[in-house]
């Protein structure tokens, strides 16, 4: 596409694209995780927005700041990070429910941590494959790494720019076995720098607004 045909797209348009990508990515992820694990899982989009560090205490529970994050570094026209993030307790419930582990221990074993990385990788890769198809953009990712950290320093570390830099967040409800909790996808830099109309929106199924 020539430069003069490129158009800046608004935050509202980005959120619409992100919503469509999210719906599709979560559907594909839930289907795959249900087939791999021992329990059916359902994901439902709850919130999509452009946020900054000052919003963190409203997005997460300051009484339970410890989080697990499966972090993927994205290289391409814009570099950045995309992470699958959830509270420590939710990470434990999610992983143990997928693996059908009955123990109530909060701490994850090394094997369970490996499984959590794979679960995060499945979800993030579904986001990114939709991103590539919709935007017709070439990117690459490194092998994901697991971080266990409080949310504020984690966001600081990944957002290695001014404190007020914005990032996109997707919060989605997870239903598995008898449990309900929230999980999140955070996009640093990459999606925020999107400055042109997507070329592949026709490739995804339209959704009701």
Which residue number, 96 or 171, has a Cβ lying nearer to other proteins?
96
3 state DSSP class of 57: helix
Least Å distance, CB 186 to other proteins, is 18
Choice between 61 and 148, CB closer to other proteins: 148
23-48 per-residue burial string, b: 16 or more CB within 10 A, e: under 16: bbbbebbbebbeeebebebebebeeb
- Alpha-helical regions (H) of 81-150: 88-99, 110-135
Q: Does 107 bind other proteins (CB under 8 A)?
A: no
Which tokens in the block code for residue 71?
Answer: 């972090």
Nearest residue (CB) to other proteins, 23 versus 112 = 112
Q: How far is CA 142 from CA 30, 80, 121, 139, 177, in A?
A: 23, 11, 11, 11, 32
- The site map against other proteins for 179-208 (x = CB under 8 A) is ------------------------------
Q: Which of 24, 99, 155, 176 binds other proteins (CB under 8 A)?
A: 99
By CB under 8 A, is residue 52 in contact with other proteins? no
Count other Cβ atoms within 10 Å, centred on residue 2: 5
Residues between 139 and 158 with contacts to other proteins, criterion CB under 8 A: 139-144
What minimum distance in Å lies between the beta carbon of 173 and other proteins?
22
Q: Binding to other proteins by residue 37, rule CB under 8 A?
A: yes
Q: How far is CA 26 from the centre of its chain?
A: 10
Size of the site for other proteins (CB under 8 A): 28
Least distance CB 114 / other proteins (angstroms): 5
CA distances from 202 to 1, 100, 151, 184 (A): 17, 39, 36, 26
Torsion of CA 133, 136, 139, 145, to 10 degrees: -30
- What are the residues binding other proteins (CB under 8 A)? 32, 35-38, 72, 98-99, 111-112, 114-115, 117-119, 121-122, 125, 128-129, 132, 138-144
């Amino acid at each position: 596409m020539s430069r003069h045909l490129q158009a800046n797209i608004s935050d509202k348009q980005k959120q619409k694209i992100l919503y469509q990508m999210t719906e599709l990515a979560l559907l594909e992820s839930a289907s795959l995780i249900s087939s791999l694990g021992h329990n059916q899982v359902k994901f439902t989009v709850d919130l999509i927005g452009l946020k900054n560090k000052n919003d963190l205490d409203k997005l997460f529970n300051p009484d339970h700041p410890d989080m697990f994050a499966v972090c993927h570094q994205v290289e391409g026209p814009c570099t950045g990070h995309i992470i699958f993030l959830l509270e420590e307790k939710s990470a434990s419930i999610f992983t143990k429910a997928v693996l059908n582990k009955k123990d109530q221990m909060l701490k994850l074993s090394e094997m369970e941590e490996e499984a959590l990385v794979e679960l995060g990788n499945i979800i993030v890769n579904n986001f990114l494959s939709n991103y590539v198809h919709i935007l017709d953009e070439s990117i690459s990712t490194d092998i994901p790494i697991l971080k266990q950290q409080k949310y504020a320093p984690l966001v600081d570390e990944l957002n290695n720019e001014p404190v007020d830099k914005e990032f996109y967040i997707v919060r989605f409800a997870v239903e598995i076995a008898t449990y309900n909790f929230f999980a999140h996808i955070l996009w640093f830099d990459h999606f925020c720098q999107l400055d042109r109309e997507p070329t592949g929106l026709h490739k995804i199924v339209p959704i009701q607004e």
